[in-house]
Amino acid sequence: MSETIDLTDRTAETDRAASVRLNDEKMRQILEGARRVFLADGFDGASMNDVARVAGVSKGTLYVYFQSKQALFEALIREEHRRTAERLSMFDEAEPDVALVLTRFGNALMNFMLLPEHIALVRTVSAAAAKFPAIGRAFFDAGPQYGADRLAAYFSQQVEAGALFIDDVNLAAWQFLEALQGGHLKRMLFCVCEPPQQDAVEKAVARAVEMFMAVYRPK
């Protein structure tokens, strides 16, 4: 359903908001409001009116930053995943114990992926992606693909150092990321179970690292 915009109000707000277009604090305020609304109501149920109200900005100001609900959601996805992926995908290249590095990474990643708010975001994206493929692409590129690329780059460095023997680092990265989940993520996505206990997550990560090193450790 399209939303009616008061053009008079929008014009006035545009003039006032243009000077703060690059104001990071204002952008964060809008994105945090959008996050709360989208996670609560889903993509279809959310409205720009609701986002403006929760974010504490006028609707005109909101439209200065984002021309549509789809553009706002895509920006939210990219920002959420950019910050998370950069934080999680920091590999200690000076640490000679590859298994230790992968264990730390795996535990941090799974603890994030199994958060209820992240599960809610995945469900929201999945519901909207068929109608708006760009949303699915934004989520995939900023999250899974970014993480796989960073992991593949780390594997390449370890291959050069002689610590790993991998003929296809991209395939190895995706294999490892899938193995980490141990079925926990899918069970939560389909509401089969509550978040698993920490020891169950750590056990799945440890087994994924063990299997990975058994295959890719130099013979």
The pLDDT value given to residue 86: 65
pTM, to two decimals: 0.77
Do residue 115 and residue 211 come from a single domain?
yes
What's 141's DSSP letter? I
Q: What is the mean pLDDT of residues 148-167?
A: 95
Q: Report how far residue 39's alpha carbon sits from residue 21's, in angstroms, rounded to the nearest whole number.
A: 25
pLDDT for 185-215, tens place per residue? 999 989 888 889 999 999 999 999 999 999 9
Residues 6+ away with beta carbon under 8 Å from 78: 138, 141, 142
pLDDT tens digits for range 93-125: 788 999 999 999 999 999 999 999 889 889 999
Q: How many domains does the structure of the chain reveal? A: 2
pLDDT band at 5 (very low <50, low <70, confident <90, very high): very low
Residues 183 and 204 grouped into a single domain? yes
Instruction: Kindly state whether residues 40 and 81 are assigned to the same domain.
Output: no
Closest CA to 78 of 177, 16, 146: 146
Q: Are residues 60 and 90 in the same domain?
A: no
| 1 assigned to some structural domain | no
Residues 121 and 190 in one domain: yes
Categorize the per-residue pLDDT at 23 as very low, low, confident or very high, splitting at 50, 70 and 90.
Answer: low
Could you tell me which of 67, 63, 91, 50 has the C-alpha nearest to residue 173?
91
Domain range enclosing 150: 76-216
What's the CATH code of the domain at 144?
A: 1.10.357.10
3 has a pLDDT exceeding 50: no
**Helical ranges in the chain per DSSP H:** 7-18, 24-45, 48-55, 59-65, 69-88, 98-113, 116-129, 133-140, 146-160, 169-181, 184-189, 198-216
End-to-end Cα spacing for the chain:
61
Are 175 and 99 contained in the same domain?
Answer: yes
For residue 44, tell me if it sits in a domain: yes
